[in-house]
Amino acid sequence: MSDLSVREFDFTEADFRRVRSLIRARTGIELGAHKQSLVYGRLARRIRALRLSTFRDYLELVADDGTDEAGFFVNAITTNVTEFFRENHHFEYLAQTLLPAVWRRAETTGRRVRIWSAGCSTGEEPYSIAMILRENMPAGSSWNIKILATDLDTDVLAHAREGVYSHDRLGRVSQPRLERHFEPVEGGALRARDALRSLITFNQLNLMEPWPMSGRFDVIFCRNVVIYFDDATKTNLVRRYREALLPNGHLFLGHSESLVSSDLGFEGCGKTIYRRTETPATRAAG
């Protein structure tokens, strides 16, 4: 790790501990000791922009949860790495195995289908899901299909709502899909067509706080998110996801993630793909 003592602003161990505490309280994210240089680099830009002199002054400012800067603070720390059709086996499973069962169930429930992309970042994941839905949707115009896409970071949500991506960001999207689902815009970028965008609602949501959604979901994608939480937070979050899923609903986690316990009411049905089950333990707990 580089020597922080030669940096522009003094950044003490006490400052870093306070950053870790604030982020843990507001997002559930556990910042490891190896993140000290990353935190310095991201927050130093904010200190400079605000014309402050020290990390202590900055942390006093963001300690008030109601300030605009408190939001900028969280946005600066959270990491957003994503791409279209990332971990493509998940999308293949969704199209080939899961959606046929979802359509059959929806036929008996008013053709209502709900999918949640939790931690959607700049939108590549929900737009990938939307492409799969459009390409595999049964005939007929009366389907009630919605994708809820949420993230804590307001900056990435603004990007996602625009639905505009450079060609290099779309490198994993096949040419037929580009032609069907995107249209050129000024500057050489491509924008998701209205038919795709109409399926998705983007909202800010802190996973650690109460969730406002009342209906349950057929599928929840929460990939490369729980890796940042401690085991207790992961367990609590997975239990809440289970309650947010319909019976036999599916939860998708990231490639380096797994359920922290075998008694959470899920069974594995693919690589980091889990189906909600009804077990004696979960029935008793419910």
Residue 155's contacts (CB-CB under 8 Å, 6 or more residues apart) are 75
**Could you tell me if 27 and 206 are in contact, meaning their C-beta atoms sit under 8 angstroms apart?**
yes
**Could you tell me if 228 and 199 are in contact, meaning their C-beta atoms sit under 8 angstroms apart?**
no
Q: Per the residue annotation, which of 15, 20, 114, 151 is the catalytic one?
A: 151
Is 275 a catalytic site residue? no
Q: Is 48 helix (H, G, I), strand (E, B) or coil?
A: helix
Which residue shows structure tokens 């992961």? Answer: 234
Provide long-range contacts, Cβ within 8 A and 24+ apart, for 176-182: 177/131, 180/134, 181/127, 181/130, 181/131, 181/134
Cα 220 to its chain centre, rounded Å, is 10
Is 218 a catalytic site residue? no
Q: Per the residue annotation, which of 42, 46, 86, 239 is the catalytic one?
A: 42
Among all residues, which ones are annotated catalytic?
42, 151
